Structures are given as C-alpha cells and as structure tokens.
C-alpha cells in the first residue's frame, strides 16, 4: 500500500545519507544479487507475462531478460572504470593542478516503469542506478510485487511524486510524462522521460521488399504491437504499396499461421480500456489485412490499412497496438517533409540500399534513434544511448549512459598553496602589464593530460629530444672530422 511505499522511500533516503550505497563493493554485491534473481526466476517471470499479455514463453527471455542480464554483466565488468575520476584538459593557468570529473551518486531515484516490458523498462534503469551508487529498495520485493499484482497504481504513483527525490526516471506516454515533469518541478527534481510517439518506417522502392516486410512485420506485431519503438506507420511510394501489403500478408501467414488467434506466439492487448481505444482508431477504415477482434480475449488481429489520410486520427496519436497504416509519398523528399512536419519520433526506420540516400534522410530528419534496414535493433546495443527527443522524451540510458544519466558529474580542481606569484596577475591593484599576463594565461590553449594522451606526448617528446641530441652529436663529429682533415692537409703540404 501507499504507507508501505512511503516507508520504503524513507529507508532508501536513510541508507543513502548513511553512505551505505557508496562503496563499489556494495554496488557490485547488489548487482550480482539482481543478476541471480533474474537468472533463477526466469520461468516465473515468463509465466506472469504469459498471463498478462499472452506473450510466448520464448519471447520474454529474448525481448527482456537476456538484454537485462547483459546490462548487469556490463555494469559489473565496467563499474570501476565508470566510477573512476575522469581527467580533463588543462590550460597554462591550471597546468600544475589536479583537474578531473568525479561521478558521484545523485541520491534517491524514483523509477516508474511500464507494463508492456515491465522487467527491461524498470530494472534496466535500476542497474545503472545501483551502479551509480543510488539507494534502492530490495529487488526481491519488486519481483514479489509484480508476481502478486501489487505494483503501484495511479493513486500511489501520484502520492509518490509528491515526495522529494533526487531524480525521477519515467517510461510511458507523453501525457503522463508531462504530469511527472510537472510534479518533479515542485522540487526542482531532474527527470528522464522515455516516452513514445509515432515512429515512421520508410521503405524505398529499390530495397529488398521481401526482407523489409519480414523485419517490419516482426517489429510491429511482436508483443501485439505494444512496443514504444515499434514502427507506427509505413511510408512508401504508391507503386510498391501493393507489394508491401502482399509481403506482410505472406510473413504473417509464416509467423502466426492462418489464424493468429490460435498462435501461441501472438499476444493480447493488456486490458479492456486499451482494447477499446485501439478498436476506436480503426473506425471508418477497411483493413486490407486482418481487422478481426474478440473483446472477451482482448484479441485484435494483425491489421494493415492502406491509403490512410495523413489528417486521420490514426495518424495523430501513437497507435501502441497491432494496427499498421500505410501512407503513400511521392519520393524520399516527400517522406522527409512528411516526417519533419510532425513531432520528433522516438525512432526512425529506413529500408534503402542506397547509402547516400540513407545518409541524406538521417541528416535531414531528427529522431531519438535510427535503425537502417531493420527495426528496433539500435535499442539492443548497450553502447548506444537510448532515448527520445522533443515530445518523444529527454535523457539517455543503457550501459554507461544510464550510469552517467543517474550520476552527478562533479567538477574537481585541486591546487596547492604554493607558487603564489603565478596568481598575482589576477589580484588588485590592476595595471596594463598584469592584465596582459592574465589574458595570456586565460587564452592559453587546452592541453590534454589524460593518461593515454600524456604517455604518447611524453614518449614523443623523449624521442624528439633523443633525435635532436643524436643529430647534434653527428654534426659535432662531422665538424670535428672536417677540422682535423684540414689540419693534416695543411701540415702535409
């Protein structure tokens, strides 16, 4: 209940203020415990998601748990490196100083996950938060709460947001994201918002349509379309629209059989409210593929609609379900214009074999991320930051990006009390000569003293100095030989 949640927040604050979460050994211990929990409870987790979303028992590890285990393993391996002081460039004024950035824990972070991928979207930020040294409740408690359906509802979340946190990490809709940001603003709490939006998928007429349709079909209809980075709609030229529809039809038959309702691999809508919302989006349109539904099972067939008007309701809000509209454009220029006239999407997908055309579309559009000739795969790589831009979100996470997002990057400059004469130029009374010296020092170029660069610089200096000495010795020897030869020639004659 709410009282229990507030008690958890207080305990987390006490743990952080007591310094318990700061040592790297404690962070590693927590990460390894989380790793064991995910590994040991995979069957229970998959069973729970089968009940909620009719998700295949094979899909949950592939879509959530394996990537989560990879995130944890990476954090364990790299934690010492991530948490270490980071040297920065210096100028002449700070040449003898110790200058670095120290990542330090922010404090208590509130993570609000989402129901469509509850483990990846809740525990992936938690991995970075633990690595960054923030205080957190028991991850075992999260497991029990989810399996027993006792996670926070709307009222509990609203009360939680009234509390003062050091960071709020929210994943969900843009509408709720605005409310989260508004609540956080009362305490000037920074936020990370991972939102959604309408992610476009442009299919060029010269690409391999068979492969493109297979990949788009998988990305759109996995988890019954309830994926924030699923392709929301297709943009293509009219001349290939029929071939795209046929390619999707053949792929659906291959993936889910003649009746997806009977397929163990095809999911269901999360609840009746979302079922009614999605069905409402279809009103007034005739599906060229699918369109069947069963309210008693919250089942909506994989559905494709073509020649959808850009002004339609279907094209105004995020679908977040198994409906795939196709909008025709005259060419790539028209597609770029169409994308740029709308809110910045969370993801952009481009199927095209022309590298110059791909680069042009990337350069002339904006999105949280881009995948070319596939869908959603940029999200699977921990080295790439994942996040939105504009209405699709703010902030980045995955891998080190989560650690940095949930850490305070503290600027540190340590200097001695000696060499006071160097500082005289900044003290009053000022005169022309002092001002000139101060300007020279402040305008001096930045020098990279990071370990690798510094080693190379010292090595290069030593080699250059050695070569200079060797050249000088050679010149002196040559000069001495010339003098000797002249002397003996003179004596001889």
Catalytic residues: 194, 228
Look at the chain and count its residues: 493
- Alpha-carbon distance of 18 to 21, in angstroms, equals 8
Given the structure tokens 């349109």, which residue do they identify? 285
For residue 263, what is the enclosing H or E element? none
Classify residue 179 by burial, with Cβ atoms within 10 Å: 0-12, 13-18, 19+. Answer: middle
- Alpha-carbon distance of 300 to 131, in angstroms, equals 41
Residue 202 phi/psi, 5° resolution? -95, 125
Give Cβ neighbours of residue 386 (< 8 Å, ≥ 6 apart): 194, 368, 369, 378, 379, 396, 397, 398, 401
- Alpha-carbon distance of 64 to 67, in angstroms, equals 6
The tally of CA atoms less than 13 A away on the side-chain side of residue 29 is 9
- Alpha-carbon distance of 188 to 180, in angstroms, equals 12
What the block records as the tokens of 197 is 């939006």
Give Cβ neighbours of residue 168 (< 8 Å, ≥ 6 apart): 109, 110, 112, 161, 180, 184, 189, 190, 191, 192
């Amino acid at each position: 209940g709410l009282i229990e949640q507030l008690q958890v927040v207080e305990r987390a604050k006490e743990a952080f203020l007591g310094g318990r979460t700061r040592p790297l050994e404690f962070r590693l211990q927590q990460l390894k415990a989380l790793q064991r929990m995910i590994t040991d409870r995979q069957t229970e987790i998959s069973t729970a998601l089968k009940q909620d979303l009719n998700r295949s028992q094979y899909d949950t590890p592939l879509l959530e748990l394996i990537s989560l285990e990879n995130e944890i393993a990476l954090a364990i391996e790299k934690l010492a490196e991530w948490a270490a002081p980071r040297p920065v460039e210096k100028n002449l004024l700070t040449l003898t100083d110790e200058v670095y950035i120290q990542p330090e824990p922010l404090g208590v972070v509130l993570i609000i996950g989402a129901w469509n991928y509850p483990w990846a979207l809740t525990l992936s930020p938690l991995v970075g938060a633990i690595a960054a040294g923030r205080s957190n409740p028991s991850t075992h408690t999260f497991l029990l709460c989810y399996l027993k359906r006792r996670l926070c509802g709307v009222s509990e979340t609203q009360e939680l947001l009234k509390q003062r946190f050091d960071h709020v990490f929210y994943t969900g809709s843009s509408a709720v994201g605005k409310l989260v940001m508004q609540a956080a603003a009362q305490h000037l709490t920074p936020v990370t918002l991972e939102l959604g939006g309408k992610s476009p998928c442009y299919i060029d007429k010269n690409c391999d349509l068979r492969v493109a349709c297979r990949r788009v079909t998988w990305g759109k209809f996995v988890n019954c379309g309830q994926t924030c980075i699923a392709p929301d709609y297709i943009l293509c030229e009219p001349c290939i629209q029929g071939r795209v529809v046929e390619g999707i039809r053949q792929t659906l038959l291959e993936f889910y059989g003649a009746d997806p309702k009977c397929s163990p691999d095809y999911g269901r809508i999360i609840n009746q409210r979302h079922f009614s919302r999605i069905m409402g989006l279809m009103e007034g349109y005739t599906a060229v593929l699918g369109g069947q539904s069963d309210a008693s099972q919250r089942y909506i067939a994989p559905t494709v609609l073509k020649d959808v008007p850009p002004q339609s309701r279907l094209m105004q809000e995020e679908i977040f379900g198994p409906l795939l509209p196709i909008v025709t454009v005259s060419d790539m220029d028209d597609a770029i214009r169409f994308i740029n006239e709308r809110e910045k999407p969370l993801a952009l997908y481009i199927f095209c074999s022309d590298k110059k055309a791909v680069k042009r579309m990337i350069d002339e559009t904006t999105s949280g991320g881009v995948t070319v000739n596939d869908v959603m795969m940029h999200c699977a790589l921990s080295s790439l930051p994942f996040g939105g831009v504009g209405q699709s979100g703010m902030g980045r996470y995955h891998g080190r990006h989560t650690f940095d997002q949930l850490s305070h990057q503290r600027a540190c400059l340590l200097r001695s009390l000696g060499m006071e004469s160097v500082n005289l130029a900044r003290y009053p009374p000022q005169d022309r000569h002092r001002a000139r010296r101060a300007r020279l020092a402040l305008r001096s170029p930045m020098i990279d003293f990071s370990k690798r660069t510094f080693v190379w610089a010292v090595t290069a200096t030593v080699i250059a100095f050695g070569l200079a000495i060797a050249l000088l010795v050679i010149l002196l020897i040559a000069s001495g030989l010339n003098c000797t030869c002249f002397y003996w020639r003179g004596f001889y004659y």
